[in-house]
Amino acid sequence: MVTIIDVARKAGVSPKTVSNVVNNRPVVRPATRERVQEVIRELEYRPSAAARSLVTRTRRLIGFLLADIKNPAYPEMVEAIASQTHQNGFMLLLCNTGRDPVEEDHYVNLLIEQQVDGVIISSSGAEGRAAGILSRRGIQVVLFNRHPKVFNENYVGVDNEGGGYSAAGYLLALGHTRIAFFRGEPGSSTSEEREAGFRRALLENGVPMDDSQFIFGDFRVGKSREAATALLTRRDRPTAIFAANDVMAIAVMDVALRLGLRVPEDLAVVGFDDIPIASSSPIGLTTVRSDLRTMAEEATRLLLELVRDPHHPGHLNPIRKILPVALQIRRTSGGRVGDPVRSPPPPASTA
């Protein structure tokens, strides 16, 4: 392995000078810098991150602790986080907990051992242990997208309550009164806030609710399909479903179609997130759009600021940044209930 000493020797300077060159410190005479860089190129010298961080106590490493990368909402966010951390010279450690608290703890330990500079947390733990453990170790933390029941860390998310409210409001305006709500995992703040908005809309409109219309879908396909099947084969099945995320909404559509129900004529479906596939015409999902990319960028920017600036206000007073959402009306929400059935969707429209 080529070390800084080898470079120094060959360039006829001290190791410190090489270090100064590598770190772009402007104290080196141009001629010297040039010579050193030449030797670096020749020897293909690459500084050891381990050695460097042992002394600087900064690893240039960011962790991303997330619940489930298979949720199609994530890749967009991962890309944004990756690209921004990379631009700033940091590398990204991906920690996919699979919603397993044991895995999460293991990841937290590894992140501490790696002495990462900061962690973006978007995992499930309703108790929020990870954030606490990490920040007590002096590791910067930003809660992202979801948050524990009570928390005192910086947080970037979207207006879930408002989104739930406008989705439900829209379905009510279309004349629906039997609307089911598809929950995510228990304890998930996103699901609970979306449900809160949903409930507020129904309450304000004097539409009665009962427990049977609140279903657990678990944010994933498998469980959602079971739950949807049970719901849609009931005699008093709802005329509309608002799912706490798009994955579940699409699972509901899937089940409905297989049961011979037409979407939206027999069942209106609304989701949340606006994942990429939602806008494709075979799906055409009406959904609450959250700007996943912007949210990810905001969170990353905030984290990097916290890492770099020890006097950042976020160190004293946790910042809570809530981004707006917007209802995207597409095909699956249909028209007014009781309207004459409109011309079917594209596949048959040319028949």
Which residue ranges make up the site for a copy of itself (CB under 8 A)? 46-51, 53-54, 59, 64, 68-70, 72, 74-76, 78-79, 82-83, 86, 89, 91-96, 98, 103, 106-107, 109-110, 112-115, 137, 221, 250-251, 253-254, 257-258, 260-263, 266, 276-277, 280-283, 344-351
Give me the least distance between CB of 122 and a copy of itself, in Å please: 14
Give me the least distance between CB of 139 and a copy of itself, in Å please: 11
The item of DNA, a copy of itself, none sharing an interface with residue 96, based on CB under 5 to 8 Å by kind, is a copy of itself
The nearer residue to a copy of itself, 9 or 225, going by C-beta atoms, is 225
CA 161/CA 155 separation, integer angstroms: 16
Give me the least distance between CB of 81 and a copy of itself, in Å please: 9
Residue type, 195: E
The nearer residue to DNA, 117 or 195, going by C-beta atoms, is 117
Contacts of 2 (CB under 8 A, 6+ apart): 43, 44, 45, 46
Bridging pattern class, strands 268-273 and 240-243: parallel
Secondary structure tally for the chain: helices H, strands E: 13, 12
- Sign of the Cα torsion 139, 144, 150, 151 reads positive
Please count the other Cβ atoms lying within 10 Å of the Cβ belonging to residue 145. Answer: 26
* CB 227 within 8 Å of CB 217: yes
The nearer residue to DNA, 8 or 307, going by C-beta atoms, is 8
The nearer residue to a copy of itself, 72 or 101, going by C-beta atoms, is 72
Give me the least distance between CB of 311 and a copy of itself, in Å please: 22
Give me the least distance between CB of 221 and a copy of itself, in Å please: 7
Bridging pattern class, strands 268-273 and 286-290: parallel
